[in-house]
A = this chain, B = another copy of it.
Amino acid sequence: MRLNMKKYVQTDEWLLIENKFNPTDNEVTESLCSIGNGHMGQRANFEEDFTGHTLQGSYVGGVYYPDKTRVGWWKNGYPEYFAKVLNSVNWIGLRITVDGINVDLAACEILNFERILDMKRGILSRNVLLKLSNGKKIALSSTRFVSMDDEEIGAINYTIKAVDDDIDLQIESYLDNDIKNKDANYDEKFWDSKASNFENDIKYISASTKKTFFEVGVSAITNVLMDTLEVISDTFVTESMYVSQLFHVNLDAGKTCKIKKFIALASSRNHDPQSLKDHTSNKVITAKTQGFDHLLNSHEQKWAEIWKWCDIKIEGDVEAQQGIRFNIFHLLQTYTGKDSRLNIGPKGFTGEKYGGSTYWDTEAYCIPFYMSTAGQEVARNLLVYRHNHLQKAIENASKLGFSGGAALYPMVTMNGEECHNEWEITFEEIHRNGAIAYAIYDYTRYTGDKSYIPEFGLEILIGIARFWAQRVNWSEVKKAFVMLGVTGPNEYENNVNNNWYTNYIAKWCLEYTLSCLENTKLQFAHEYNDIIKNTNLIHQEEVKWTHIIENMYLPEDKTLGVILQQEGFLDKELMKVDQLDLANRPINQKWSWDRILRSCFIKQADVLQGLYFFEDHFDKATIKRNFDFYEPMTVHESSLSPCVHAILASSLGRTEKAHELYLRTARLDLDNYNNDTEDGLHITSMAGTWLSVIKGFGGMRVKDDCLYFSPVIPDKWQSLSFNLRYRANNIHISFNNENLQIKNVSGPSIDIFVNNTKFTTSENSSTLINLDKAVLH
Contacts and interface: CB of A to CB of B under 8 A. Distances in A.
Interface string A463-499: 0000000000111111000101100000000111100
Nearest to A570: B477
Given A473-B573, A477-B570, A495 B494 contact: yes
A424 B485 CA distance: 13
Contact of A593 (B69, B77, B570): B77
Contacts of A427: 592-594
Interface string A296-334: 000000000000000000000000000000000000000
B571 A76 contact: no
A401 B595 contact: yes
B597 A485 contact: yes
A599 B587 CA distance: 32
A478 B567 CA distance: 13
B77 A423 contact: no
Given A473-B572, A474-B573, A573-B473, A594 B494 contact: no
Nearest to A486: B594
B598 A421 contact: no
A70 interface: yes
Nearest to A497: B568
A588 interface: yes
Interface in A70-111: 70-73, 75-77, 82
A428 interface: yes
A352 to B, nearest CB: 15
Interface string A416-431: 0000011110011000
B484 A571 contact: yes
A589 interface: yes
Interface in A342-361: none
Nearest to A430: B594
Nearest to A594: B427
A230 B379 CA distance: 87
Contacts of A568: 484, 497, 567-568
A614 interface: no
Contacts of A77: 592-595
Interface string A572-614: 1110000000000000111111110110000000000000000
A269 interface: no
Nearest to A478: B571
Contacts of A484: 568, 571-572, 597-598
Q: Chain B CB within 10 Å — which of A496, A568, A570, A597 has the most?
A: A568
Binding site secondary structure of chain A: loop
A82 B72 CA distance: 10
Place the interface of chain A in its size category: 35 or more
A749 B589 CA distance: 64
Contacts of A428: 594
A543 interface: no
B589 A76 contact: yes
A573 B477 CA distance: 10
Given A475-B571, A568-B567, A594-B427, A72 B75 contact: no
B570 A475 contact: yes
Given A70-B70, A495-B494, A75 B572 contact: no
A60 B75 CA distance: 30
Nearest to A484: B598
Interface string A429-469: 00000000000000000000000000000000000000000
Contact of A399 (B474, B477, B592, B597): B592
B72 A482 contact: no
A455 to B, nearest CB: 32
A315 to B, nearest CB: 43
Contacts of A706: none
B401 A76 contact: no
B478 A400 contact: no
A571 B482 contact: yes
Chain B CB count within 10 A is highest, among A421, A478, A595, for A595
Contact of A401 (B73, B474, B591): B591
A495 B401 contact: no
Interface in A175-231: none
A151 to B, nearest CB: 34
A423 B492 CA distance: 13
A69 B496 CA distance: 27
Contacts of A495: 424, 494-496, 597
Nearest to A572: B484
A494 B496 CA distance: 9
A590 B76 contact: yes
Contacts of A573: 473-474
Contacts of A82: 72
Contacts of A594: 77, 400, 423, 427-428, 485
Report which residue of A76, A496, A571, A592 has the largest number of chain B beta carbons within 10 angstroms of its beta carbon: A571
Contacts of A75: 592-593
B72 A592 contact: no
Interface in A379-437: 399-401, 421-424, 427-428
Contacts of A574: 476
A421 B72 CA distance: 7
Nearest to A588: B76
Nearest to A567: B568
Contact of A70 (B72, B485, B567): B72
Contacts of A76: 588-593
A483 to B, nearest CB: 9
A486 to B, nearest CB: 9
A72 B84 CA distance: 13
Contacts of A485: 594, 597-598
A422 B72 contact: yes
Nearest to A573: B473
Contacts of A571: 473, 475, 477-478, 482, 484, 497
Contacts of A591: 76, 401
Contacts of A595: 77, 400-401
Contact of A71 (B71, B473, B474, B588): B71
A718 to B, nearest CB: 44
Q: Of A401, A589, A591, which is in contact with the most chain B CB atoms at under 10 Å from its CB?
A: A401
A599 B591 CA distance: 31
A454 to B, nearest CB: 33
Nearest to A475: B571
Interface in A127-159: none
A276 to B, nearest CB: 35
Nearest to A597: B485
Given A76-B589, A77-B595, 6 more contacts: A75-B592, A76-B592, A401-B595, A428-B594, A473-B573, A494-B495
11 contacts: A70-B71, A72-B422, A76-B589, A401-B595, A427-B593, A473-B571, A474-B573, A475-B572, A484-B598, A495-B496, A568-B568
Q: What are the nearest 8 A-B pairs in CB distance?
A: A77-B592, A427-B594, A71-B72, A75-B593, A475-B571, A400-B592, A477-B570, A495-B495
